[in-house]
Amino acid sequence: MIKQLVLLKKRDDLTVEAFRTYYETHHRLIGEKYLNAHVARYVRRYLETPPGMAAEAMPYHVVTEMWFESEAKRDACYAGLRTPEAQAEILADEAKLFAPGGKFTSSVVEIASTITPSTDA
């Protein structure tokens, strides 16, 4: 399984609530339109603003995760996302939601630890 992460920063003029609402009710649907045929899983994880920090000071506000069953599925997905039609739709919507330069994408190597809960009180 191949996992892609996309870290995204909201536009400063949007509240955290408005950002999350728009992402879930509109931008997510555009993503699913292009991802559905290719991804095994698509998840958004919204970062909470730490106490004492302004939301605008955070480097990112959401972590988007996509799992692909193979490199071929990932490559086909990204080829579809690069079409002129997809780019026009996605970039126009991203401009309404994300800060300029506030996007970072990377593949992920995931290594999990097995944790044994302590019996100490």
| For residue 11, pLDDT beyond 90 | yes
Provide the number of structural domains found in the chain: 1
Question: How large is the average pLDDT for residues 48-63?
Answer: 96
Q: Is residue 113 part of a domain?
A: no
Query: Which SS3 state, helix, strand or coil, does residue 7 take?
Result: strand
Question: How large is the average pLDDT for residues 94-107?
Answer: 96
pLDDT in tens, 14-39: 999 999 999 999 999 999 999 999 99
Nearest to 90 by CA among 44, 47, 41, 26: 26
Instruction: Spell out the SS3 assignment of 15-59.
Output: CHHHHHHHHHHHHHHHHHHHHCCCCCEEEEEECCCCCCCCHHHCC
Contact 68, 77 (CB under 8 A): yes
Q: Is residue 119 part of a domain?
A: no
Kindly report the CATH number assigned to the domain that includes residue 84: 3.30.70.100
Domain span at residue 102 reads 2-108
Q: Is residue 28 part of a domain?
A: yes
pLDDT at position 38 is 96
Residues listed for the chain: 121
pLDDT at position 48 is 97
How many angstroms separate the CA atoms of 78 and 2, rounded? 13
Question: How much is the pTM?
Answer: 0.88
Residue 121: band (very low, low, confident or very high) from pLDDT cuts 50, 70, 90: low
